[in-house]
Amino acid sequence: MQILAIDIGGTAIKYGIVNEDFSVEQSFEVPTEAQLGGPHLMQKMLSIVGAFADRVDCVGISTAGQVNSELGKIIFASENIPNYTGIEIKKTIQEQFHLPVYVENDVNSAATAEAKFGAGRGYRDFLCLTYGTGVGGALWINDKIYTGDYFSAGEFGHIVTHTGGKKCTCGNNGCYEMYASTRALVNAVKEETGKELTGREIFAPEHFNNVIIRAVLDNWIDEIIGGLTTLIFIFNPPCIVLGGGIMNEDYIISEIDRRIHARPMHSFQSVQIKKAELKNQAGMLGAAYLAKQAM
């Protein structure tokens, strides 16, 4: 069996062939051109599927935005991809190519891949968070994604950690992602030092060893832990998997681990803090797994 997996991110679309043992045989990347909007993006998906349709058995799609995975439809997408809300991905592809199609949200896809092939292997339950422009979340409960009543569970980026705080893109104030995302770290470094550094540049020795930058970084790690604390109290998870490029910095994971385990309660002592393992392939592998399962 061969599965076409497509991972639609804010800047790039990764796609390729995944075989039935879930190894990626071929992969490619094209720009998303998100600003051109949802209908344009749908056309891009159709041309990708068209190039592979005669040699694959099903199609798995991981995408930004909230997804009704039963209908394969985008139920909400932010202005990062204008007019993506309402796009019926599954129906549109099936009408043209008559292939089974499964569509899932990107963080849910990545969490599924981590559960089956990565850091979440062996856990019936765990939480998954990804840190980037915002903070994405997924709940893996009873060996599957917990979707909530309307496919919106796990929006950890929008739990309120600062009542009356910074205005968020969701319309509320004080959301977790306004303080704990990679973007929040980058902004805080700029405010304190005037320097425009990327997440990766902050960890270059000349910046990482700067006392002002290190103080900003340590405060940001406390912000990450503030949200995780709430989640640990609610879910008492055995494991939390942290993803997003910034989490490749060992200092962050080890500090989160150290500060969480310094708390006396058993739920804090027992929780395993793990780095996501599958990196760039997580979305594709998760989508491929879900597509095969749905057949």
The answer to whether residues 128 and 241 touch, using CB atoms and an 8 Å cutoff, is yes
> Torsion-angle region of residue 192: left (phi > 0), alpha (psi -120 to 50) or beta?
alpha
Single residue of 175, 202, 221, 273 touching Zn ion by CB under 5 A: 175
Using DSSP, state whether 112 is helix, strand or coil.
Answer: helix
184 interacts with Zn ion by CB under 5 A: no
Q: Which residues contact 28 (CB under 8 A, 6 or more apart)?
A: 14, 15, 16
137 interacts with Zn ion by CB under 5 A: no
Instruction: Compute CA distances 106 → 123, 132, 238, 256, 272, whole Å.
Output: 20, 13, 23, 24, 23
| Choices 25-33, 154-162, 184-192, 205-213 (CB under 5 A): range interacting with Zn ion | 154-162
Closest alpha carbon to 267 in 239, 225, 244, 248: 239
| Choices 114-122, 156-164, 189-197, 220-228 (CB under 5 A): range interacting with Zn ion | 156-164
Question: Least distance to Zn ion from the beta carbon of 137, Å?
Answer: 12
**Token pair belonging to 154:** 């796990």
Single residue of 158, 274, 275, 292 touching Zn ion by CB under 5 A: 158
* Size of the chain, expressed as the number of residues it contains: 295
Nearer to Zn ion, 134 or 243 (CB): 134
| Choices 106-114, 142-150, 167-175, 208-216 (CB under 5 A): range interacting with Zn ion | 167-175
Question: Least distance to Zn ion from the beta carbon of 134, Å?
Answer: 8
Contacts with Zn ion: how many residues (CB under 5 A)?
5
Nearer to Zn ion, 2 or 169 (CB): 169
4 interacts with Zn ion by CB under 5 A: no
Using DSSP, state whether 48 is helix, strand or coil.
Answer: helix
170 interacts with Zn ion by CB under 5 A: yes
| Choices 27-35, 126-134, 157-165, 187-195 (CB under 5 A): range interacting with Zn ion | 157-165
Amino acid at 277: E
- Name the residues that contact Zn ion, by CB under 5 A: 158, 168, 170, 172, 175
